[in-house]
Amino acid sequence: MSYLVLARKWRPKNFSDTVGQEHVLQALTNALDSGRLHHAYLFTGTRGVGKTTIARILAKALNCETGVSAEPCGKCSACQEIDEGRFVDLIEVDAASKTKVDDTRALLDNVQYAAARGRYKVYLIDEVHMLSKSSFNALLKTLEEPPEHVKFLLATTDPQKLPATVLSRCLQFNLKRMTPRLISDHLVYICDAEGIEFEPAALALLARAADGSMRDALSLLDQAIAYCGGKVEESSAAIMLGTIDRDYVIRLMNLLASGDAKGIIETIREIDEQFPDYARLLDDVARDLQRVAVFQVVGTCDSEDDYSEKEISDLANVMPIADVQLFYQIAIMGRRDLHLAPDPLSGAKMTLLRMLAFKPAAAESTETAGPVSSGGVAAPRPVSVATKPKAAPVQSAQPKKAVKVWSDPDWNVLVPNLGLSGASRLLASNCAYLKREGDTVFLGLDPRSESMLTKQRKGLIVDSLSKYFGETLTIDIEMGSAAEETPVQQESRKADERLEEARRSLEADPNVQSLKSMFGAELKTDTIEIISGDKG
């Protein structure tokens, strides 16, 4: 008996077997059960997410001999013939190979005739966006007013190419890309059912490599079973896919955070021994940087797979926000231009080194030119006091200067002097001082900035306040507007005042008045902008 590939063997036969796409299945189930059936359905989405599979199940539900319902029996002749692809009243067309108007006219010649076997004559047109303009025109009239016994099921990966006249005559369902976790769980189910030994980490690799496509995941699983000799192992699957061990990616991220160029070169040398896919390496780095950026903003990781949130949390604590944003931009641009490099290895290596070379300069004026790291790349954030001899007197005098006697502060003046940076300073700038009771300082936070409040950032503000005033303090941040302006609100108000003053100044300018008088000109005040507030 010939082998049936997993993608075909495990293709869902009914809605209950379909993985994901609950929003589409719910709508179709309700329509079938209530009898509110449209004459044309359009399924859109990337490859392998279930467009034609759902369309075939819908055709089976419409023609099942037990009646129209969301649960076709799967045993009658109509259901079995549809599963086997030989049902006479299900006309499947690949529009990519039949794009001409003559093909479409020939297809529609028999529309007026009743179904031969089933309840409905169903036209399933795959990749419908490939039809020519003339073909769409030929289809349009029938699509607008089809006979009662005809249903159109259209599928496409590119709905933007469909004419608006066609889109307006269809019920459109957008199928989502599947998450790595959803794909991985389904692969586990299939391996258990097939009696295949596997390592969960190996299936997680296949799920990420499938890029949202369940069909691609099943094809990769077939390939992995053959490559690994029947047992799907992580190391073999990684070699097959050309992926990089997770530990290497985390090591590279930590080396980027510390500015260790020499360590990056040595790690890349180790990775190169595994014959990796460097495009995938840069993808993994960019994906981790994106997760770090999200963690720094909302305090949690948006990962849908098995990546450790602790790893992302640790990186978020040591990588400045500006660095993360720059590194991400360099990673995706390096990935895009990888084919232009002399070879993938040098392209990936230069991308990582470019992240260090263009690392944002330190805020302190004494650090405008940092020392050179062990790898020969300028390190803009030196941590050794010996590299900053001029800063030593400032550091020795700092403790005396930092200790202040408490008095109710002007929060707008205090925040810039607390030494905060990044997201913690932004959080403090969106707060207003309320009062102090005992060792607790009460602050009011603008409700629009609630997502910025995390335990880590709150702790940084507490540490800075305690250090500044030389006593142990805690803070209580309450949601709601305060009587006092926050630093952000104050800055916004001052900017508005400067803009209003500029508008009044222009309105009163003699030259502007002359232009208005002579030519009937009109000053567009809503286009006036303050170019710089530092220069007079």
Q: What is the pLDDT along the chain (536 residues), one digit of tens a residue?
A: 467 889 889 999 999 889 888 999 999 999 999 988 999 999 999 989 999 999 999 999 999 999 898 999 989 999 999 988 899 999 998 888 877 888 888 888 888 888 888 899 999 999 999 888 888 888 888 888 888 899 999 999 999 999 999 999 999 999 998 988 899 999 999 999 999 999 988 898 899 888 889 999 999 999 999 988 888 988 888 888 877 777 888 899 999 998 899 999 999 998 888 778 889 899 989 989 998 998 888 877 765 555 567 788 888 888 888 899 999 999 999 999 999 999 999 999 999 999 998 876 553 333 333 333 434 444 444 433 333 444 444 444 444 444 456 777 888 888 888 888 888 888 888 888 888 888 898 888 878 778 888 888 888 999 998 888 888 889 998 887 656 677 777 777 777 778 778 778 877 888 777 777 777 777 777 677 766 544 43
> Could you tell me if 196 and 188 are in contact, meaning their C-beta atoms sit under 8 angstroms apart?
no
How far is Cα 340 from Cα 445, in angstroms, rounded to an integer? 49
Residue 473 φ/ψ region, left for φ over 0, alpha for ψ in the -120 to 50 degree band, beta for the rest? beta
Q: What is the pLDDT of residue 532?
A: 54
Decide if domain 400-484 falls under CATH 3.30.300.150: yes
> Could you tell me if 399 and 393 are in contact, meaning their C-beta atoms sit under 8 angstroms apart?
no
Element (H, E) at 25: helix 22-34
How far is Cα 11 from Cα 122, in angstroms, rounded to an integer? 20
CATH superfamily ID and name for 6-174: P-loop containing nucleotide triphosphate hydrolases (3.40.50.300)
Q: What is the pLDDT of residue 304?
A: 53
> Could you tell me if 250 and 311 are in contact, meaning their C-beta atoms sit under 8 angstroms apart?
yes
Q: What is the pLDDT of residue 156?
A: 93
Q: What angle do CA 511, 512, 518 make, to 5 degrees?
A: 85
Tell me how far apart the terminal alpha carbons of the chain are, to the nearest angstrom: 86
- Residue 437, burial from CB neighbour count under 10 angstroms (0-12, 13-18, 19+): exposed
Q: What is the pLDDT of residue 392?
A: 41
What class does CATH assign to 246-363?
mainly alpha
Between the CA atoms of 390, 392, 397 and 402, what dihedral angle is there, to the nearest 10 degrees? 100
Tokens of 365: 């004026």
Q: What is the pLDDT of residue 366?
A: 36
In angstroms, how far is CA 118 from the centroid of its own chain? 44
Q: What is the pLDDT of residue 401?
A: 45
How far is Cα 150 from Cα 124, in angstroms, rounded to an integer? 11
Decide if domain 180-241 falls under CATH 3.40.390.10: no
